[in-house]
Structure 1
Amino acid sequence: MTIRSIIGSLLVAAPLATMAQNNPGSNHGNRFEQLGYLLADPNMYRSASGVPGPKYWQQRADYDITAELDEVQRRLNGSETVTYYNNSPDPLTYIWLQLDENEHDPKSDNNSFDGSNMKDRMSGREIGRLLGMEQGHGVNITKVTDASGKTLPYTINQTMMRIEMPQTLKPGEKIVFKVDWWYKVPNRMTLGGRGGYEHFAADGNDLYTIAQWYPRLAVYSDFQGWQNKQFTGRGEFALTFGNFKVKMTVPADHVVGGTGECRNYKEMLSPAQFQRWQQAQKSTEPVEIVTLAEAQDAIKHKSDRKKTWIFEATNVRDFAMVASRRLVWDAMGVNIEGKHVMAMSYYGPEAYPLYRRYSTKVVGHTLRSYSNHTIPYPYPVAISVEAANGMEYPMICFNYGRAEADGTYSESTKNGMIGVIIHEVGHNFFPMIVNSDERQWTWMDEGLNTFCQFMAEQEWDANFPSRRGPAHHIVEYMSMPKDKLEPVMSNSENIIMFGPNAYAKPATALNILRETVMGRELFDYAFREYARRWAFKHPTPTDFFRTMEDASAVDLDWFWRGWFFGIEPVDIAIDNVKWYRMDAKEPAETNKAAEAAAIREDTHIAKTRNKEKGMKTVVEQDTSLQDFYSKWDRFAVTPAQSAAWQQMQASLTPEEKQLYDSKKNFYEVTFRNIGGNVMPIIVEWTFADGTKETDRISAYIWRHNEQEVTKVFAKDKQVVSMKLDPLRETADIDENNNSWPRQATPSRFELFRSERAARGTSTGGNPMQQARQ
């Protein structure tokens, strides 16, 4: 074989790996080594396959709660009886409870450990934080006793409360204790946080989202003991499964929705509303149980009476509620693989144009989509509440999405609402059912849920503008300076850019696994297996990583190492291309190539300019100087050459003859791993006739040299261009080095005025409103 053309060379040194290296200083033996010490050792509680071990255990806590919402004082008073089961092999002398509302106590560390600075323009909320939190917030414990009423000693450390056992709680035993408490319900629109009230000044009413409102058991587990890391407002919750019975007393005109099933709808609703409730259970279209007209009437005529709503929930990790007189409530039945589930929505008049049309149907779609990708939804209810935020609890979540005063809304508001409903309803699966520790590993619920959200969004509308999931959307984050990044496997409080790290990057990684690395069939089976294995249990990252490999027979340690334990980006470049063709020894073709080469060799600037000038040489002027060689065609095919060619052809085997006739083009391509994160190599070839072809090379091509690899590709047709990652599926941060010949990628800039808008509102105009005008 002879080289016909050598094209291009660009040499760029790859950076050193930022993660732990098994073979420092080498160009191999690092990224493809097994995770080893980075994973927890398998044991009798958690097997090496990722399945719960033969001696797996977890605790249980049952709650019987009686509470009252004092609307006048904006105060919640509660009393709970807790039955705690010690299913662990360990004797316990104390237990830990979470007091999440203490995040609003000015004395809690979370209100002082962040830096602060002055700005040219500051909001009242920002100034309030500088002056100190509003006083009077936090949980007030009034009594802690055992079942007989004997006082139990306790200690409160910020958002955690330790109760000392009257005697050691041995394995297999249970304890019943009681706690009375109250707290001032915070204005979550000014103080922040998940639970609280929102005041509507126009009609003088409040919307209450009752969340993280009762003293609740922290998790005691086999892998870390008590999870009593303080709640600072970011890292969410590790919670224990149990059964709930809740009696909530509210003003009689309030509509209440909550975790689980209401046991006294008949007493709480008017006869007409109860009839609509019964109708909704059989309807496949949302039915307004509390109508817009009824909600608007309640807004104007406040009741001074009270009612007590009773809810029960089985095998859940938490309980939350919504209460207000200014709520429309609609519902419909949804069939989830043979199980009847009530999809429901609660929303105020300002959200009616959006929520009435979309919310409950989005709830139903989310349940169907997630059930298909994980496990069938096991609970009887799923609720979406419009509350100008986004937060999740078992069977109920709080979302945003409000129309303008004239009933119009922008497309971004609509899509934002649909996306947040899918996301928050989806949290029923991660972590409400597959119950990971959100305080330590935020990505295990937010990342996995955002990935499922992306699939559900695309199943909802092929043109849905999903922000997280497509690989190219994470490029900006992964291109940031290294000192602004941290691994996905980081504690939530230590993350600088929380959304990209804990939500977008793991969701993108899982999408790449599904579409590019594993393929849908292998990925989907393994992902469902993880959900099935760890439903209603407490998984760790190790359990997830091991299950995905165990159920697929795909070694993914290199992928976890790069995407979850590392911060290096993907940047693969076409570094060098060489084009080879078979030298078939055919005389005419061989001589023609030799002639072209001779002309190239003999062409120089002086000869060119002499010819342009019309100069006659001596030999041209004096013909007597011309001999045989002056007219001899040295590149003409001779009889001897023809005979040799025919003899060679006759001696070829059929296989050799086929190879000679194929006229294959061979392209030797060198790829450079500039970013450091190894990924599959995806090459799109464009041929001279305009057709295209794509080759996909496993990431394992990098195992012997993680910085540079060379591979030969045989093509039937001549290639005119190459492009790496044509569908933008690997999150390559620099597309300028992805093409041969090089193609400049245009960048655009925009002049804009920065304005901060409320969450969920549009910044791109409202065409619906403009059309009406």
Structure 2
Amino acid sequence: MRTFIALILLSFSISSFGQDVPGYSGKFNAIDRLLEPPSPYRTASGAPGEDYWQQRADYKIKASIDENTNELVGEETITYYNNSPHNLKFLWLNIEQNVNRKGNEDFGDVLGGVQDSISSLQIQYLLRPIDFPAGTDIQWIKDASGKPLDYIVNNTLLRINLPEPLKSGENVSFSIKWKNYITDRAKFLLSREGYEYFPEDDNKVFLLGHWFPRMAVYNDTEGWQNKQFRRLGEFALEFGDYEVALTVPADHIVAGTGTLVNESEVLTKTQKERLDKARKSFEEQLFIITPDEAKANEKTKKTETKTWKFKAENVRDVAFASSRKFIWDAMAVKLPTNTVLAMSFYPKEGTPVWTEESTNAIKQALEVYSEATFDYPYPTAISVNTSNIGMEFPMISFNGGRPMNGQISEQARRGMTSTIIHEVGHNWFPMIVSSDERKWMWMDEGLNTFLHQRTLAERYPQWSSTRPKDIVPFMMGDQKTLRPIMTNSDNDLLFQMGANFYQKPTVGLQMLRETIVGKELFDEAFKEYANRWKYKHPNPSDFFRTLEDGTATDLDWFFKGWFFTTETVDIDLAEVKWFQLKDEVATVENKDQKGNTKRISGSGNAEDGMGFGEGPQPFAMAHTPDGAYGQFLSRIDESQMREQLSGKHIYELTFKNKGGLVMPVIIEWTYADGTKEVQQLPAEIWRLNEAQVTKTFLKEKEVVNIAIDPNQQIPDVNMNNNVFPRTKQSDKFENMKDE
């Protein structure tokens, strides 16, 4: 009975831990309650469950562009497969072009609204006084037998009411005819699609993304993903096979998702021969259309048309670009399990820098991302030059960056190349590892930026890449406006979106890889996540659980602090004490009035500026009485211990957590002989007291300086309290934040 009561008391003390313990707020508690629970569809290890399912949609599309009216008219047949265990009475589709219609939500106000002086372009963003057609007009929807289907348009979403519920395990086919008004991209803030007009030669480059009605996602954790498109939160789509026929002016060149299946009909004999040669060119890119040929081509406008036909398998979207202005170069990239044709399309305004950088950047991204996750599975990877954006789609991306009068600064060149790498990298996240961009922007942008920065670091070492210190200014921002990473895509402020959804997740993954978990374990776990969820729809919980599963590391404390809060890192080296063992033996009577062994005062309170000048404080080692060993019969060899401690230096360091986030503590010891040693304490040292920790160290040599995280592996917002003694030397760490 006594044992039973003791266990009850112990259980009570554990369950109430955190309510009465000073310095404890539960940062190391499990995050299970913050995530959706495991299910037969998604396991507790982060993998798809045995009963995991997802929907599928196959498309056959015919569309044509009228260059004079800037209209796209299309017809599509969709076959939708209901692999869910539910019967569906209606279907939801995306028609995102409607976001461009006047009266819809816009981002004009983020530029500051009406001011004393305001540019005409800003007025257009803000009020759209010059109106123009925009959006998608649905002309009809019919079932497989040609009968009209009832439908309702709700802004950027389209609901089709089925005459009979679509039963689990069955499929349905239906057709849609629609018209899109292709808009001038210069008239929209954050415009990803439309045309770019070139007044000098009176030509356009058409960039067509989310240009056809597409099935919304229906899944096990949300049902229909029916959040409206508001420009920031991008796309959640189902996988399928596509057959696409695009009719454009006969002198246009089309770059599109998939394999061009009618080369002999749309390419000249010379162009086809060059393309065949490029498929075997692994060392250099070759021109399919040269700059001189492109310049000649843009001078004439044909009234005839050509139809370009593409096929794509197991993709979640298709996009294309069309223009008579395109220069076209290509080269082959050999991966362990696949050979990819890397291609770039750009107007003369992109030369010479696009010739120099674009296709090579595709190659570098394909190689680094494939090594980090899985081999790029598609036959082509395309980069198309445009202005002011970087936008991704399967196998093709639209990327900004151009020289001015043929010249480009090194910073602009880096930005352009970085954009191409980033957008090509989106083929992995979210085009294959298909997370929900409309809900969790960080799951595609953050993971992709992490590998994009790794590509820069490995393949472009001459250019800087994001490091933990770069997130410090953002984390030091106003806590009233900061939002955690785990914020829905459309709910973050536009001006902090880049830092919160791109940069901060990148820094978090860098810390896990390089500091907290280690490269070998982290890389295996990250690769496991990518392979578990390729061609599937992961949620944040699947990512968090897979990283823990693959590293055998409890990372709940990290995910909770870094992803779910806006707390900062500020580790203060608050106090340093230096001791040496005295020669004489102390007695057990060396106690204070409460019976505790007396402690000798320290030699370095950081806050009052003290250093090591007073020398070590002596302490005595007392004999351990037999009663202290309990029933153990063996005894410590005290003479050996005295010998081991003789002449050694003992340092007691007190750390204070002033920022809130718990992190590993990285200590750099500088010794009197000029040598240095780096020692890392795991974040778990904060488990019992998240506000303050004291740790004791035995050193062979005398220490003259101690620095916490001198290389800024952790984004500490105040490096001035990271050094001891407090001297002008601490200024160098403050300056590092601005480098």
Q: Cα distance, 1:111 vs. partner? A: 6.9
Q: Distance in 2 between matches of 1:718 and 1:287?
A: 63
Match of 2:415 in 1: 416
Q: For 1:489 and 1:239, how far apart are their aligned partners in 2? A: 21
Specify the SS of the correspondent of 1:551.
helix
Return the offset for 1:23.
4.3
CA shift, 1:424, in A, is: 0.2
SS in 2 for 1:67: strand
- Which residue matches 1:594? none
Tell me the secondary structure at the aligned position of residue 397 of structure 1.
strand
SS at match of 2:477: coil
RMSD over aligned CA atoms reads 1.9
Secondary structure of the 1:300 match is coil
Q: Return the match for 1:51 from 47, 51, 62.
A: 47
* Residues 1:147 and 2:130 are matched in the alignment: no
Displacement of 1:653:
6.9
Matched residue, 1:162: 159
The AA in structure 2 aligned to 1:659 is Q
Aligned residue among 197, 200, 203 for 1:199 = 197
Instruction: Provide the residue aligned with 1:712 in structure 2.
Output: 696
Counterpart residue number, 2:726: 742
Is the 8 Å Cα contact of residues 24 and 30 (structure 1) preserved in structure 2?
A: no
Assess if the C-alpha contact under 8 Å between 1:23 and 1:30 holds in 2: no
Aligned to 2:709: 725
CA change 1:67–1:373 in 2 (3 A) is same
Q: Tell me, yes or no, if structure 1 residue 440 matches structure 2 residue 439.
A: yes
Give the aligned length. 661
CA distance in 2, matches of 1:670, 1:398: 52
Residues 250-261 of structure 1: pairs in structure 2 closer than 5 A: 250-261=248-259
Q: Which amino acid aligns with 1:480?
A: G
CA offset at residue 584 of structure 1? 2.6
- Aligned equivalents of 1:293, 1:54: Cα separation in 2: 57
Looking at structure 2, the residues matched to 263 and 529 of structure 1 have their Cα atoms a distance apart, in angstroms, of 34
Is the CA contact 1:576–1:671 (under 8 Å) kept in the aligned structure 2?
Answer: yes
Note the residue ranges of structure 1 that are not aligned, 5 or more in a row.
1-20, 587-651, 750-773
d(CA) in 1 for partners of 2:639, 2:328: 79
- 1:494 and 1:384, CA in 2 relative to 1: closer, same or farther beyond 3 A? same
State the distance in 1 between where 2:49 and 2:235 align.
24
| SS of the residue 1:213 aligns to | coil
Q: Determine the structure 2 residue equivalent to 1:74.
A: 70
Q: Deviations over 1:450-498 (max 9, x none)?
A: 00111111111223222x3x00000000011211211100011111210
Normalised by the size of structure 1, how large is the TM-score? 0.83
Conserved 8 A contact 1:29-1:703: no
Aligned twin of 2:533:
534
What amino acid does structure 2 have at the position aligned with 1:135? F
* Mapping 1:37-186, distance limit 5 Å: 37-110=33-106, 117-132=113-128, 134-186=131-183
How many Å separate the matches in 1 of 2:185 and 2:94?
A: 19
Return the offset for 1:355: 1.2
User: Does the 8 A contact of 2:108 with 2:126 survive in 1?
Assistant: no
For 1:181 and 1:689, the matched residues in 2 are separated by 78
Answer yes or no: is the 8 Å Cα contact 2:107–2:126 preserved in 1: no
- Secondary structure at the aligned position of 1:473 is classed as helix
Which digits, 9 at most, give the CA deviation of each residue in 1:382-427, with x for residues without a partner? 111111220000000011121121x221101110111001100000
Cα deviation per residue 1:304-326 (whole Å; 9 max; x = unaligned)?
A: 11100000000000000010000
1:22 CA drift (Å): 6.6
Instruction: Judge conservation of contact 1:125–1:191 (CA < 8 Å) in 2.
Output: no
Check conservation: 2:667, 2:708, Cα contact below 8 A.
Answer: yes
CA deviation after TM superposition for structure 1 residue 114, in Å: 7.0
CA 1:731/1:24 → structure 2, altered by over 3 Å: closer, same or farther?
farther
- Contact map agreement 1:152 1:164 (CA 8 A) in 2: yes
Q: In 1, distance between residues paired with 2:263 and 2:309? A: 9
Q: 1:243-642 counterparts in 2 under 5 A? A: 243-284=241-282, 285-388=284-387, 389-405=389-405, 407-466=406-465, 468=466, 470-496=467-493, 497-585=496-584
Q: Is residue 654 of structure 2 the alignment partner of residue 670 of structure 1?
A: yes
Q: Is the 8 A contact 1:143 1:180 kept in 2?
A: yes
Distance 1:311 1:736, change over 3 A: same
AA paired with 1:471? P
Give CA-to-partner distance per residue, 1:15-66, whole Å, 9 cap, x none.
Answer: xxxxxx9748842251000002101111110011101001000000011000
2:429–2:448 Cα contact (<8 Å) kept: yes
Q: Which residue of 1 aligns with 2:221?
A: 223
Mapped partners of 1:506, 1:395: distance in 2: 25
What residue identity is the alignment partner of 2:683?
A: A
**Amino acid of the structure 2 residue aligned with 1:42:** P
Deviation, structure 1 residue 108: 2.6
Pair 414,317 (structure 1): closer, same or farther in 2 beyond 3 Å: same
**Deviations 1:40-95 (Å, cap 9, x if unpaired)?**
11111001110100100000001100000100111111110000000000000100
Measured in 2, the distance between the counterparts of 1:445 and 1:175 equals 31
Question: Does the 8 A contact of 2:99 with 2:135 survive in 1?
Answer: yes
Residues 667-718 of structure 1, C-alpha deviations (whole Å, 9 max, x = no match): 1110000000000000101111111111100000000000000001111111
Q: Which has the larger radius of gyration?
A: 1
d(CA) in 1 for partners of 2:187 and 2:537?
A: 34
1:227-242 equivalences under 5 Å are 227-242=225-240
Distance in 2 of aligned mates of 1:458 and 1:294: 36
Structure 1 residues 84-139: Cα deviation after superposition (integer angstroms, max 9, x where no partner): 00000000010001011000111334579979622233222221233337332110
Q: Is the 8 A contact 1:584 1:660 kept in 2?
A: no
CA separation of 1:558 and 1:92: change in aligned 2, threshold 3 A: same
Q: Secondary structure at the match of 1:745?
A: helix
Distance across 1 between alignment mates of 2:512 and 2:229: 33
Aligned-partner residue type, residue 72 of structure 1: N
Q: How much identity, in percent, do the aligned residues show?
A: 46
Q: Which ranges in structure 2 are unaligned for 5 or more consecutive residues?
A: 1-16, 586-636
Using a 3 Å threshold, how does the CA distance of structure 1 residues 378 and 393 change in structure 2: closer, same or farther? same
What is residue 186 of structure 2 aligned with on the other side? 189
CA drift of 1:720 comes to 0.7
TM, length-normalised to structure 2 = 0.87
The whole-number CA distance in structure 2 between the counterparts of 1:359 and 1:219 is: 33
Deviation string, structure 1 residues 252-310 (Cα, Å, up to 9, x no partner):
11110000110011211111111000000000111110111110001111111110000
SS at 1:294 equivalent? helix
**Cα separation, 2, equivalents of 1:727 and 1:740:** 16
SS at match of 2:583: coil
Any idea what SS the aligned residue of 1:666 has?
A: strand
Aligned-partner SS, 2:211: coil
Contact 2:98/2:156 (<8 A) preserved: yes
Partner amino acid for 1:391?
A: M
Contact 1:22/1:33 (8 A) holds in 2: no
Report the secondary structure of 1:584's partner residue.
strand
SS of aligned partner of 1:172: coil
Alignment partners' CA distance in 1, 2:664 and 2:547: 18
Q: For residue 7 of structure 2, what is the aligned residue in structure 1?
A: none
How far apart are 1:660 and its partner, in Å?
Answer: 4.8
State which drifts further: 332-341 or 470-479. Answer: 332-341
- The answer as to whether partners of 1:29 and 1:704 remain within 8 angstroms in 2 is no
Residue deviations 1:146-174, cap 9 Å, x none?
01110001000100010001211000111
For residues 552 and 448 of structure 2, what CA distance do their matches in structure 1 show? 24
For 2:179, what is the secondary structure of its paired residue? Answer: strand
CA contact (8 A) 2:57 2:80 kept: yes
